[in-house]
Amino acid sequence: MDIWHGLDSVPSDLTGSVVTIGVFDGVHRGHRELISRAVTAARSLGVPAVMCTFDPHPTEIFSPDRVPPLLGTVAQRAALAGEAGIDAAVVISFDDEISSWSPAEYVDRVLVDTLHARAVVVGANFTFGHRASGTPETLVELGRERGIDVTVVDLLTDPGAPAGGDDAATAAGAAAGAAGDGGDGAGADGSGSGDRHVVCSTWIRGRLAAGDVEGAAEALGRDFDVVGEVVHGAGRGGAELGFPTANLYLDERYALPADGVYAGYLRILPDPEAGVDAGAVVGTMPVDVDLPAAVSVGSNPTFGDARRSVEAFVLDHHADLYGRRVRVRFTGRVRGMVAFSGVDELMDAIARDVAQVRGMTVAPTSA
């Protein structure tokens, strides 16, 4: 798929599109419903399906001290949308100028003059324009005047108690409204009614903060994962503890599960420029294959380390992964983080963790 960074990067020969608009943080099941509707409409009209998204997150402009942890990078967002059928993503650099546009100016500049939209798909909580003054009803009316068909999709809900909106999440919802956050939840605070909750990015962040990676996966429609480059850690995993780990230090802007130990998988990502293609083998690890792993998230309290990191011990395989890009996928929680009295007690706990992870994961038949 194509990724256009900024409205000026949209090809001048684009003559029509179907657009869905929003931050799309995490590209969860609610987002995928919007994408599915947009792709279906685009195919019937014979035009590209375009996702209009924003970077930075609008909250960074309006409430920089309340920016929610992001569920993925813009590149991951675009890749997930592409897998769901989106043909192109336009990434708008959200700033003070764009936030000042009236709803009509927003529609004219983005949808009419640049994307030549023939149809638009948004969520029922969609707001846009200066001070989030535009609503789905506003968009329907503006679209009618300009010959653009507008589809408003109801918010997706799941069984279970609402997550309960926190202040940061509510601020995120208000700020995102100025950009137009397509269907990210009721006020983006995860609230619902009765014993149901809205499937939204805030709900997912709450599940991750509680260590409930399975609940997060239910809302995402896939396991939560992180992508990063393997770096040198403290060196204790293999030399001192007998459990060598792949260490990832991730940007603090992005969400991680609560500190603890998890079952999951590590995948070495292909790197054609380095001659590492799918099907290659690094050490004993096949590239582009999910390998069962015990994954630790946290700051290693036993050794007094303060920085949070992700450390993955791959079961039954070994390789020098320094400098490699890997994906770590979380599938279940084993335990919380504990400060042990010494190395022997820690090693015993790790051995128990690995045994438990072995029963929670499935080794690939090809590895």
Contact status, residue 346 vs residue 340, Cβ threshold 8 Å: yes
Q: Are strands 117-123 and 17-21 parallel, antiparallel or unpaired?
A: parallel
Q: What is the sign of the dihedral through the CA atoms of 204, 210, 214 and 215?
A: negative
Looking at residue 69, what DSSP letter applies? P
pLDDT value at residue 131: 86
**Lookup: tokens for 208:** 């991750």
Q: What DSSP element (H or E) covers 12?
A: none
Is the pLDDT assigned to residue 170 strictly greater than 50? Answer: no
pLDDT of residue 365: 65
Comparison of pLDDT for 72 and 342, the residue scoring more: 72
For residue 252, the model assigns a pLDDT of 87
> Residue 191 has what pLDDT?
54
Q: What is the pLDDT of residues 258-308, one digit of tens each?
A: 999 999 999 999 998 888 899 899 999 999 999 999 999 997 655 455 578
Task: Collapse the DSSP code of 212 into the 3-class scheme (helix H, G, I; strand E, B; otherwise coil) and give the result.
Answer: coil
Check residue 341 and give its pLDDT.
72
E-state strands within 34-175: 49-54, 88-92, 117-123, 149-153, 157-159
Interval 81-122: pLDDT, tens: 999 999 999 999 888 888 899 999 999 999 999 999 999 999
Quote the mean pLDDT of the chain: 87
Q: Are 41 and 224 in contact (CB under 8 A)?
A: no
Computed from CA positions of residues 28, 34, 37, 43, in that sequence, does the dihedral angle turn out positive or negative?
Answer: negative
Better-predicted residue by pLDDT, 163 or 242: 242
Confidence of residue 166 (pLDDT cuts 50, 70, 90): very low
Going by C-alpha positions, the residue among 64, 77, 61 that lies closest to residue 5 is 77
* pLDDT tens column, 117-142: 999 999 999 999 988 899 999 999 99
Q: How many helical (H) and strand (E) elements, i.e. helices and strands, does the chain have?
A: 11, 16
pLDDT of residue 193: 54
Please report how the helices 201-209 and 167-179 are oriented relative to each other, as an axis angle in degrees rounded to 10: 150
> Which domains, ranges and CATH numbers included, belong to the chain?
2-206 (3.40.50.620), 225-360 (2.40.30.30)
DSSP assigned state of 257: P
Structure tokens at 213: 């990676």
